[in-house]
Amino acid sequence: MRPNRILRLWVLTLWKGAAKMRALIPTSAVFSLLWSLAAAEIQPPRKTRDGFAVPQPGHRFEFPTDHGSHPDFKIEWWYVTGHLFGEQGRRFGFQATFFRRSGPLPTNGTMVTARSELFGNEELHLAHMALLDVPGERFIQEERLNRQGWDAESSTNTLAVRNGNWSLSVGTHANGPFSLQGSIRSAAAFSLEMTPVKPLVVFGEKGVSRKGASPTASSYYLTFPRLEVAGVVTLEGRNQVVHGQAWMDHEISSNQLDEDQAGWDWAGLQLKDGREIMAYRIRKKDGSRDPFSQLAWVDANGAVTNFNSGHFTWTTVQTWKSPITGGIYPVRIQLTTTDPISGQPAIFILEPLVFQQELGGVLSGISYWEGACRVRNEKSEDVGSAYLELTGYAGSLTERFQ
């Protein structure tokens, strides 16, 4: 019997048998401890059944290399969202996401390394770009899908990913500034430079972000939770100098969802007090919340405080039905958690700046809602901004992220 299993049995037996202990220690605290011990006991395999790598606890990251591509993992994405302000306070929201997905491995379990001059069959590159013009209540977006080769690729040595004329890259310094170049058909374009205000954050336990009970349902989750942004937005042929703040994620995985999971809700909050919150609620097909859902606070210096699913609530306040896909999205939500500084309850309400922020999945087969939001507290005071991602409401994601 493993030591953690013995310890779990000892904790549970002692708590059941001691009335005084039950009076002093809340039930939720005991089960939180048991859950943590159970999670720590699972040793992830090195590879999935189809031969791809699995995130390992204690992995040592090296940069700029780990900002780049990891072809031994099946799924990977680089994700940037932000709030921008232009002339006379005109407000924009933007999103840029670059996906890389590996094709099947050869039967001998080794990676394919040979490439043709123009195209390769080893990887597919999907990308999304979106711009929200808040005062005009206009949301425009575009999706691209290309095989690796002359029109899409990602470096394994540094952050340099592109899909056509869209690109995300880093210069000579490993941790920024970062450069983002994007366009949306002939309607809009942006050229942005993003400089980290805080150090890189690695979410998860021992560097592994668990997404389900399966030991392979996990990722390396690297984040710059706050970047200062400066650049130019072009809308309807007119250039506007903009500034603002952004959030950048890089997730590396081979399996993001278990069979019984339908999708996830994710939020990245940037509070005016200099802190951030990352939260995700993983939803099972029966409508319940998976216990591997997570919330994390990032303090003003970049230190992380984690809360498991028993220590925060995610409540739907208002829904919106897409006239295109028919998906019903919980676009206004309330997050209730505990402030790690004061120890007091903290309530945050995320309100979309515009309801229509759905990205159609014509090429990928995945439609989801990704929206710019304001953040209010329980007194309706404006305390920050956020981006909210809602997936699995217009079709299941399971087959796409396994």
User: What's the pLDDT tens digit per position in 8-24?
Assistant: 444 344 344 444 444 55
Does residue 60 share a domain with residue 1?
Answer: no
pLDDT confidence of residue 107: 53
As a whole number, mean pLDDT of residues 231-241 equals 95
- Cα separations (Å) of 291 from 137, 211, 236? 37, 9, 46
Percent of the chain predicted with pLDDT > 90: 70
Contact 188, 93 (CB under 8 A): no
Domain limit, last residue, from 237, 256, 275: 256
User: In terms of domains, do 141 and 243 share one?
Assistant: yes
Mean pLDDT value across residues 232-247: 96
C-alpha 221/C-alpha 251 separation (Å) is 5
* pTM for the whole structure: 0.85
Q: Which domain holds residue 37?
A: 1-41
Single-letter residue type at 162: R
pLDDT category at 42 given cuts 50, 70, 90 is low
Residue 345 has pLDDT above 70, yes or no: yes
Statement to judge: residues 2 and 64 lie in one domain? no
Of 137, 129, 73, nearest to 101 by C-alpha is 73
pLDDT for the residue numbered 68: 97
Asked if 68 and 174 sit in the same domain, the reply is yes
Last residue of a domain, one of 199, 221, 256: 256
Tens-place pLDDT, residues 363-390: 767 899 999 999 999 999 999 999 999 9
Question: Which pLDDT score, from 0 to 100, does residue 26 have?
Answer: 52
Q: What's the whole-number mean pLDDT along residues 329-337?
A: 98
67 and 174 together in one domain:
yes
Q: Would you say 12 and 34 are in contact if contact means Cβ atoms under 8 Å apart?
A: yes
Question: Where does a domain end: 203, 227, 256?
Answer: 256
Pair (277, 183) in one structural domain: no
Whether 4 has a pLDDT exceeding 60, the answer reads no
Give me the pLDDT at residue 360, please.
83
Residue 25 has pLDDT above 60, yes or no: no
- Residues linked to residue 143 through DSSP beta bridges, in sequence order: 128
Residues 243 and 300 grouped into a single domain: no
| C-alpha of 153 from chain center | 21
Do residues 88 and 230 both lie within one domain? yes
| Interval 90-136: pLDDT, tens | 999 999 999 999 977 655 545 444 444 445 557 999 999 999 999 99
Distance (Å) of CA 262 to CA 208, 223, 258, 294: 21, 24, 9, 16
Same domain, 141 and 34: no
Quote the pLDDT of residue 121: 59
- Number of domains into which the chain is organized: 3
Name the one residue in this structure whose structure tokens are 């901004």.
Answer: 385
pLDDT greater than 60 at residue 204: yes
Co-location of 249 and 269 in the same domain: no
CATH code: domain of residue 216:
2.40.370.10
Q: What is the per-residue pLDDT for 21?
A: 43
Could you report the per-residue pLDDT of 279-320, keeping only the tens digit for each?
Answer: 999 999 888 899 999 999 999 999 999 999 999 999 999 999
365 backbone φψ class: left, alpha, beta (φ>0; ψ -120 to 50): left
Segment 176-202 mean pLDDT:
96
Regarding whether 209 and 277 lie in a shared domain, the answer is no
- On whether both 252 and 273 belong to a single domain, the answer is no
